[in-house]
Amino acid sequence: MKKNRAFLKWAGGKYPLIDEIRRHLPEGNCLIEPFVGAGSVFLNTEYEAYILADINSDLISLYNIVKLRTSDFVRDARLLFTDEFNNSEQFYLLREEFNTTADEYRRALLFLYLNRHCYNGLCRYNLRGEFNVPFGRYKKPYFPEEELYWFAEKSRNATFVCEHYHDTMVKATQGAVVYCDPPYAPLSATANFTAYHTNSFSLADQQGLARIAHQLSVESQVPVLISNHDTELTRDWYQHASLHVVKARRTISRNILGRSKVNELLALYKKAE
């Protein structure tokens, strides 16, 4: 199966690990993703239906607009990917507009612009809920037209919802499969990067996710696959799962030499047949 890229840049995106993830994802009729992010797993699997959720309302609004108004969105977004808007002055003007407008369609256009023009494609908000990533200074940001159309085509069988991971996971019934890509547990005290949205993801959230995954697999026969860093802490959280180690490259370090490969876990909760 050809690998398809997401139209957004995303810290921790799963495109490089797609083959490993597909290898461990069980069969089913519906894939549920409580932390859809850029959607690389969704875009590279073939389930009959998808329930795709995220706590970031800007992200889910964007996805629904791309799904329902594809041609309009591609046409209008392309206008922002010109030399006229690829400078710091225009970037900060458009970032300010994004942070003040209530127009959902305009916000979606600006979200894509900011994602492709900001530093490292990061998605970060301050405590007031304002997007605050600085200008990235890229020579010619890529306009992902082909990726947008592929996303829209795949979305015909998808439902996008903005909600807490617990509310998404309790929708799972027998025949569904759940894939979770939560904000990762820190490798160290200085390596934490969970505040990608104003809702931070605490250690209690991490433990709660593991409990729900175990409960779903035992009580509802719904398999759950979770990605996270490979640490003593995560191995303790996922003690009831089958653990598989994969190598992943860190991509958000400012220092290129710091973008080394680290071990990640794929924790599979699945009731023995």
Going by the annotation, the residues of the binding site are 10, 14, 54, 181
Question: Could you give phi then psi for residue 181, rounded to 5 degrees?
Answer: -125, 70
Q: Could you tell me the residue ranges of all domains in the chain?
A: 15-54+162-267, 61-145
Bridge-based pairing of strands 242-249 and 224-229 is unpaired
CATH number of 15-54+162-267: 3.40.50.150
Going by the annotation, the residues of the binding site for S-adenosyl-L-methionine are 10, 14, 54, 181
Which pLDDT tens digit goes with each residue over 155-178? 999 999 999 999 999 999 999 999
- 90-to-122, 130, 136 alpha-carbon distances in Å: 18, 17, 12
Three-state SS across 169-200? HCCCCECEEEEECCCCCCCCCCCCCCCCCCCC
What tokens does 193 get? 């990067």
- pTM of the complete model: 0.92
Residues 124, 121: Cα–Cα separation, whole Å: 10
In terms of residues, how long is the chain? 273
Q: Any alpha helices (H) in the chain, and if so which ranges?
A: 18-24, 40-43, 57-68, 70-78, 88-100, 104-117, 145-154, 165-169, 203-219, 232-237
Evaluate the CA torsion angle 267, 167, 8, 90 in order and state its sign: negative
CATH number of 61-145: 1.10.1020.10
Which pLDDT tens digit goes with each residue over 182-214? 999 988 655 554 444 445 788 999 999 999 999
Q: How confident is the model at residue 2 (pLDDT cuts 50, 70, 90)?
A: confident
| DSSP secondary structure string for all residues of 210-239 | HHHHHHHHHHS---EEEEEE--HHHHHHTT
